[in-house]
Amino acid sequence: MTKSKHMTKTRKDLASLSDVTRAELEAWFDLALKLKTELKAGKTHPLLAGKNLAMIFQKSSTRTRVSFEIAMRQLGGGGLYLSGNDMQLGRGETIADTAQVLSRYCDGIMARVFAHSDITTLAKYATVPVINGLSDYSHPCQAVADYLTVLEHKKRLKGLTLAYVGDGNNVAHSLLFGGAKLGVSVTIVCPQGYEPQKSVVDQCVEDGKATGSRILVTSDTAAVKGADVIYTDVWASMGQEGEHAERVRNFKDYQINAGLMAKTGKKDTLFMHCLPAHRGEEVTDEVVDSPNSVVFDEAENRLHAQKAILVSLMGR
Ligand code: CP
Ligand code: NVA
């Protein structure tokens, strides 16, 4: 593949979608779809030949770990799994020193952390690109893969409505940022006290004015009416295990089941979930295994979307 506009370096790091432009998102979608189609036709893409990505995990992962490692391998490079606990980070070495050391060995750093400030500190001190593989604040790679999945299924993004029913968490934040940039209206339906951060909502309301995206936060599940996508995530995120029982009680009316899907009034509403799903809690088997569910397409698209992001950040 020759270098195209899709591979133009537009940023050093991907910490959050808050400062990503619509043009960057669309370039990632284009490149991801091209790489995906060509891969399925047997074409190889050694666009990051000889390059290595350090992958720091302070939390568990299936999709992020495997998709980033396979992405680097398919691009001709390598991914190095680093457990936060096994690193000197776990014994008090600073994030700043870690960033500078890894920058001497690797061509990029992907990190899954608790505090979002760990991502911004890594980005500040690393001389190589830093990619957020989930923080308590945001999960940008997930939202890029998710909107790519919506685009594939609905053939457009602008003018659609995504209703996120559940906790106003990291995934909700990234869907809000992405939707506002892309002209997708985002309705967050959550119990009182579990809303997304006000600063995120305020920015998205502003960003949405330019793209036609309407942002709504409500506790009323009737607000899913007309939604093109129903999205949910676990009720207790990683690090909130101690609140699990209380959250199950507080979220019980927000389960995605056949009754809630019917409230959209549409037959072709997509069901989405970043996974892992806690079946029987935030979603029933009936919905997650239904023909409307595209959860495994989302999981697959983590690979293709991240290849586009890796090439645009780490490519020559
Ligand atoms: N969706 C997602 O990030 O999954 P993992 O926690 O398995 O990486
Ligand atoms: N909100 C979830 C997403 C997991 C991919 C968590 O942070 O645990």
Whether residues 85 and 190 share a domain: the answer is no
Report yes or no: 232 and 283 within 8 Å, Cβ to Cβ. yes
Task: For residues 108 and 15, state if they share a domain.
Answer: yes
Which ligand is nearest to the Cα of residue 133, counting in written order? 1
Whether 85 is in the pocket of ligand 1, judged by its Cβ within 6 Å, is no
In a shared domain, residues 291 and 306: no
Determine the structural domain holding residue 173 and report its residue range.
142-299
pLDDT of residue 5: 52
Best CA proximity match to 183, nearest among 211, 149, 206 = 211
Q: Cβ contacts of residue 116 below 8 Å, gap of 6+? A: 15, 16, 132, 135, 136, 137, 138
91 is an active site residue: no
Catalytic residue from among 142, 173, 190, 204: 142
Query: Distance, CA 243 to ligand 1 centroid (Å)?
Result: 20
Give yes or no: residues 102 and 242 share one domain. Answer: no
Same-domain pairing of 66 and 186: no
Picking from 33, 9, 91, the residue whose alpha carbon sits closest to that of residue 307 is 33
Residue 176 shares a structural domain with residue 240: yes
CATH number for position 250:
3.40.50.1370
Q: How far is the CA of 174 from the centre of ligand 2 (A)?
A: 12
pLDDT for residue 19 = 95
- Say how far apart CA 112 and CA 238 lie, in whole Å: 11
> What would you report as the CA-atom Rg of the chain, rounded to the nearest whole angstrom?
19
Q: Could you write out the DSSP letters of every residue in 60-88?
A: --SHHHHHHHHHHHHTTSEEEEEETTTSG
- b/e per residue 66-75 (b: at least 16 CB within 10 A): ebbbebbebb
Cβ atoms 187, 227 nearer than 8 A: yes
In the DSSP assignment, the letter for residue 279 is: B
pTM (global) more than 0.85:
yes
Which atom in ligand 2 lies closest to the alpha carbon of residue 59? 8
pLDDT in the model for residue 4: 55
Q: Within this chain, do residues 46 and 99 fall inside the same structural domain, yes or no?
A: yes
Residue nearest to atom 2 of ligand 1 (CA): 63
Mark whether 130 and 148 lie in a shared domain: no
CB of residue 134 inside a 6 A radius of ligand 1:
yes
pLDDT of residue 9: 82
Task: Please report, in tens digits, the pLDDT of each residue of the chain (316 residues total).
Answer: 545 555 668 899 999 999 999 999 999 999 999 999 999 999 999 999 999 999 999 999 999 999 999 999 999 999 999 999 999 998 999 999 999 999 999 999 999 999 999 999 999 999 999 999 999 999 999 999 999 999 999 999 999 999 999 999 999 999 999 999 999 999 999 999 999 999 999 999 999 999 999 999 999 999 999 999 999 999 999 999 999 999 999 999 999 999 999 999 999 999 999 999 999 999 999 999 999 999 999 999 999 999 999 999 999 8
pLDDT at 297: 98
- Considering the domain architecture, whether residues 151 and 288 belong to the same structural domain is answered as yes
Tell me: do 57 and 68 sit in the same domain.
yes
Q: Atom 3 in ligand 2: which residue has the minimum CA distance?
A: 237
Distance 136 CA to ligand 2 centre (A): 8
Does one domain contain both 203 and 55? no
Is 61 close to ligand 1, i.e. is its CB under 6 Å away?
yes
Structural domain count of the chain: 2
| Residue 114 phi, psi (nearest 5) | -85, -70
Residues 38 and 101 reside in one and the same domain = yes
